[in-house]
Chain A
Amino acid sequence: MSLDISFIGILIGSIMASSVPLILAASGELITERSGVLNLGVEGMMIIGAISGFALMVITDNLFIAIVGSMLSGVIISLIFGFLTQSLLTNHVATGLALTIFGIGLSAMLGKNFVGIPGKEFPILFSSLRESIPFFGPILFGHSIVLYFAFALPFLTNYFLKKTKLGLVVRAVGDSPVSASNQGINVILVRYCCILYGGAMCGLAGAYLSLIYTPQWIENMTAGRGWIALALVVFATWSPIKVLIGALIFGGITILQLHMQAIGFRIPVQFLSALPYLMTIIVLVVISRDSRKIKLNTPTSLGRIFYKEK
């Protein structure tokens, strides 16, 4: 086995690529949850994004339309969730679960005619730099634009929540919708926006899978990644940067265990397969021990129904 420095660079590059859908979906869900809304429909919104993106790519042959369309489809399906939970005041958990089941079924139906069509190659940036610089080349260059966006997103999210007035509004709505409402903030509108934003990011995460990572459409191709993204948000205690760390650990160990097999480590394969889940939870629990900070980040009214008395 070659453990030279350029190999580690390639390895980190593939780990980053595999974490992208988790980062996107978890960052989107994080904003939704910080506004006090628990949307368990991440998996459903991702799979809808995956089929919409792929279908649009096949129909229009335009990757830009496909990417934007996948985000729009996420917005549309999350609008259903928003309408039900915010306007009709249904239970968040039940509605979110229904959204996932609905999304998986609907995507399978929509995707019937798109199975077995080879995808189109997605343009990658700076591919020449990737080859010419050892170690840093494969880490920093030769990725799709979506990957760069995904890695900037947690930092942007962090900035948004901590340093902007709008971020403060979102947090206020998530912590105490009643006081926020008394301050004159339109709680329902803010929550709608956060839900739709979460939907757009989940749609993009799905499109990353069907357009870039494994360019093809197959039924249920998100394969539970939405649920992992949801768990990441909680274990990262609603901190965007910890979401990024968690996603990288999960992606990293998934890839590493395949490498360990290829190298021929004498560890039971079944244990290796369980390792990503175990390690992600352990690491995130350890780095988020500070209970004061947890309290600071946790949206206290998460999942609670809010309505304004008239």
Chain B
Amino acid sequence: MYKNFFRYLISAIFLLGFSVNSNADFKVGFVYVGPTGDHGWTFQHHEGRNAVEAAGIKTTFVESVPEGADAERVIRQLAQSGHDLIFTTSFGYMDPTNKVAKDFPNVKFEHATGYKREHSNVSTYSARFYEGRTLLGHIAGKMTKTNTIGYIASFPIPEVIRGINAMTLAAQKVNPNIKTKIVWVFTWYDPGKEAEAAQALIDQGADVIMQHTDSTAPVQTAEKAGVWSFGQASDMQRFAPKSILTSIIDDWAPYYVERAIAARDGTWNQQDTWHGLKEGMVAMGPYNSAMGADLVKEVEQLQKDLASGKVHSFTGPIYDQKGNILVAEGKVADDGMLAGMNVYVKGVEGDIPK
């Protein structure tokens, strides 16, 4: 009897809370996988959040949220505490986001780099980072002396595999002898492990290091060893001024501002956004002068062609490791195929961990 009474009381308080909140200011929540000071992935999302704040919209963020059960708790907490729009900014938040979205139909959710939109209040968005990887591949193919490119990979998801493939295809085009060596570290963020992986690749003869992890440890290791590297997610140049050839920069700010304003004004609708160099969601850091003027010019031209659509990162013929055709000659890979990519192209060594 009393138990029930308390239950009603608690739900009444909750309902009251909600009604108060819905009248209160419009609020946007952000969930980050790393600390805002990682100078990589999370740092850039945080810059996007700052832009939303600058546009006069209230925001909150929670950093270093592990992918998994904790993520659901944090997302639910944000939804309960009156946030109207929630950005969940890592692939592993995909299922938790959809789960919470089901229970909060009035809250809008935006999940980065995922593909599940199980409820009408979930949108997904991502950037065509692979266009950046194509540029890195082109540069790496020209710069390597050992014909070995070292790649530090995080988790075997389509996003990461797409990057490996795009890079390898572009490098092969300028240097048919290229080899891509991959080390999986199974983390987005562990400087010690990332540094050890970079060192292992360098010891194995790689003279260009590329990372799909978030800390600056690999570029610092490359700088120390005197090999080339590329910044990931943000401009990491000041961490390794000699070694970094360029960085792939994620610019989420315009998208975040646009979506936050749309949600506030009631014009938000579900969508799947995939922007690239053309829209500016993917940008390139300054090119290192060590590349030489000719190569810089070449890469800048390629960057323009990728942006205009004249060149596509995945233009046929593309074969998988066994030699089966993936994309026919003269065709380009469609977005569906890119989104679900789970095989290596020919020329990549090793197997994808299952």
Contact = CB atoms under 8 A, between A and B. Distances in A.
B64 to A, nearest CB: 6
Contact of B350 (A121, A213, A261): A261
Interface residues of A, number: 35
A101 interface: no
Interface in A229-287: 254-255, 258-259, 261-264, 266, 268-270, 273
B191 A218 contact: yes
Nearest to A259: B200
A259 B217 contact: no
A32 B64 CA distance: 33
Contacts of A83: none
B184 interface: yes
B195 A116 contact: no
A209 interface: yes
A268 B353 contact: yes
A254 B200 CA distance: 10
Given A14-B199, A218-B37, A269-B186, A262 B181 contact: yes
Q: How large is the interface on B (under 10, 10 to 19, 20 to 34, 35 or more residues)?
A: 35 or more
A115 interface: yes
Contacts of A258: 183, 185, 196-197, 200-201
B220 A14 contact: no
A250 to B, nearest CB: 12
Interface string B192-236: 110111011101111000000001110010001000000000000
Interface in B141-190: 150, 181-186, 189-190
A22 to B, nearest CB: 12
B186 A254 contact: no
B353 A213 contact: no
Contact of A14 (B37, B150, B186, B203): B203
Contact of B183 (A7, A225, A262): A262
Nearest to A21: B192
B298 interface: no
Given A14-B203, A221-B192, A116 B182 contact: no
Interface of A: 1-2, 7, 10-11, 14, 18, 115-116, 118-119, 121, 209, 213-216, 218-219, 221, 223, 225, 254-255, 258-259, 261-264, 266, 268-270, 273
Given A255-B200, A262-B206, 6 more contacts: A7-B203, A14-B203, A116-B37, A213-B195, A262-B150, A262-B183
Closest 6 CB pairs of A and B: A115-B37, A258-B200, A116-B37, A214-B191, A269-B353, A262-B204
